[in-house]
């Protein structure tokens, strides 16, 4: 049994220190290349912010139409005037949705909203 402590009896599987070191060096090179192609964090953040704003605008438009349609449907059921009020409130909901989208888009751009100078004047009078 002399020398039994030095050998495990398992066949060599290419897991020697030198082989592992070469594989790690190759992996580090691939990682460095991948990190070089990755966009900077500011650009990724800007994309996410733009996507969030686009989804917000789309949601506001859909919500206006859906709420208008629901109110019209409910009033039609209540008064028995089907489909007149639903159609009318669908158009009103679409108009409200468009107004909300325009208002939100202007606020996102940093432009003053219509009538903003009047709001600021009333804020100054309260002081």
DSSP 3-state of 82:
coil
| pLDDT at site 8 | 59
- How far, in Å, CA of 76 to CA of 73, rounded? 5
Going residue by residue through the chain, which has 127 residues, state the pLDDT in tens, using 9 for 90 and above.
Answer: 555 555 655 656 656 788 899 999 999 988 888 877 777 776 667 778 888 888 999 999 999 999 999 999 999 999 998 899 999 999 999 999 999 999 988 888 875 555 566 666 655 555 5
Distances (CA, A) of 14 to 18, 85, 107: 9, 78, 63
Q: Which two tokens stand for residue 2?
A: 């002399």
What is the value of pTM for the model shown?
A: 0.54
pLDDT at site 60: 92
């Amino acid at each position: 049994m002399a020398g039994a402590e030095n050998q495990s009896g398992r066949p060599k599987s290419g897991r020697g220190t030198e082989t592992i070191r070469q594989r790690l060096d190759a992996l580090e090179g691939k990682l460095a290349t991948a990190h070089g192609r990755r966009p900077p964090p500011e650009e990724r953040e800007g994309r996410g912010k733009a996507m969030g704003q686009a989804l917000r605008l789309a949601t506001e438009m859909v919500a206006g139409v859906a709420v208008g349609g629901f109110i019209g449907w409910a009033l039609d059921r209540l008064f028995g005037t089907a489909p007149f009020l639903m159609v009318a409130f669908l158009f009103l909901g679409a108009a409200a949705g468009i107004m909300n989208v325009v208002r939100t888009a202007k606020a996102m751009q940093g432009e003053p909203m219509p009538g903003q100078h009047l709001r600021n004047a009333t804020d100054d009078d309260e002081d």
